[in-house]
Amino acid sequence: MNFKKPTTFKKSAISALIAPLLISGGFLALSSNVYANDSEELEKLRALVQELDQKVRVLDRKGEIAAEEAAAKKKETPVLVAGDKGFALKSADGNFEYALKGLFQLDYRDFQDDGITNTNQAEGFTARRIRPTFQGTLFGKYDFRFTPEFGEAVNRAQDNGNSSRVIDAYVDARFQPYFKVRAGKFKPYVGLERLQGGGDIKFIERSYVSNNILPNRDLGVAVYGDVLDSKLTYALGATNGVADGSEGTTLLDTNDDKDYAARIFATPFKGSDSVLEGLGIGIAATYGDSKGVASTGLAGGYKTPGVAATNFFTLNAAVVGDGQRTRWTPQAYYYNGPFGLITEYAKVSNDVRRGANRGEFESDAWQVAGSWLLTGETASFKGVKPKNAFETGKDGWGAWELVARYQQQEIDSEAFAGTGATQFASRTTSAKSAKTWGGGINWYLNQWVKVAVNYEQTSFENGGGGTALNPKDRDDEKVLLSRLQFQF
Q: Which residues make up the interface to another protein (CB under 8 A)?
A: 1-8, 12, 54, 57-58, 60-62, 64-65, 68-69, 173, 175-176, 178-179, 181, 221, 223, 238, 256-258, 260
284: which strand partners? 263, 329
- What's the min distance (Å) between Cβ of 258 and another protein? 7
Query: Closer CB to another protein, residue 137 or residue 155?
Result: 137
What is the closest distance, in whole angstroms, from the C-beta atom of residue 260 to another protein in the complex?
8
Min dist CB 98 to another protein, Å, is 18
Q: Using alpha carbons, select from 155, 185, 160 the residue that is nearest to residue 249.
A: 185
Residue placing its CB nearer to another protein in the complex, 38 or 68:
68
Nearer to another protein, 96 or 146 (CB): 96
Rounded to a whole number of angstroms, the minimum distance from the CB of residue 291 to another protein is 14
Q: How many helices (H) and strands (E) does the chain have?
A: 6, 20
- CA torsion angle for 433, 402, 342, 136 (degrees, to 10)? -110
Q: Min. distance of Cβ 58 from another protein in angstroms?
A: 4
Nearer to another protein, 24 or 54 (CB): 54
Separation between Cα atoms, residue 65 and residue 264, nearest integer Å: 55
Helix 13-32 to helix 39-76 angle, to the nearest 10 degrees? 150
CB-wise, 108 or 260, nearer to another protein?
Answer: 260
In whole angstroms, the minimum distance from the beta carbon of 335 to another protein comes to: 32
CB closer to another protein out of 61 and 382:
61
Contact by Cβ (8 Å): 434, 209: no
Closest distance of CB 181 from another protein, Å: 6
Nearer to another protein, 260 or 443 (CB): 260
* Nearer of residues 38 and 64 to another protein, judged by Cβ: 64
- Helix then strand then coil, % of the chain, to nearest 5: 15, 45, 40
Torsion sign (Cα): 87, 107, 331, 340: negative
Nearest distance from C-beta of residue 358 to another protein, angstroms:
25
Q: Go through the chain and tell me how many residues it has.
A: 488
Is the CB of 38 or the CB of 51 nearer to another protein? 51
Least gap, CB of 149 to another protein (angstroms): 29
Q: Collect all residues with Cβ–Cβ distance below 8 Å to 171 and sequence separation of at least 6.
A: 142, 143, 144, 182, 183, 184
Instruction: Considering the complex, state which of residue 5 and residue 394 has its C-beta at the smaller distance from another protein.
Output: 5
User: Cα–Cα distances in Å, from 96 out to 76, 100, 133, 415?
Assistant: 12, 14, 17, 52
For residue 385, count other CB atoms closer than 10 A to its CB.
Answer: 15
Render the burial of 225-259: b for 16+ CB within 10 Å, e for the rest.
bbeeeebbbbbebbbbbbbbbbbbbeeebbbebbb
Alpha-carbon separation of residue 278 from 177, 178, 189, 337, 425 (angstroms): 21, 22, 20, 9, 42
Judged by DSSP in three states, 301 sits in coil
Least Cβ distance, residue 243 to another protein (angstroms): 21
**Integer Cα distance of 36 and 34 in angstroms:** 6
φ, ψ (nearest 5 deg) of residue 203: -105, 160
Q: Are strands 142-149 and 124-138 parallel, antiparallel or unpaired?
A: antiparallel
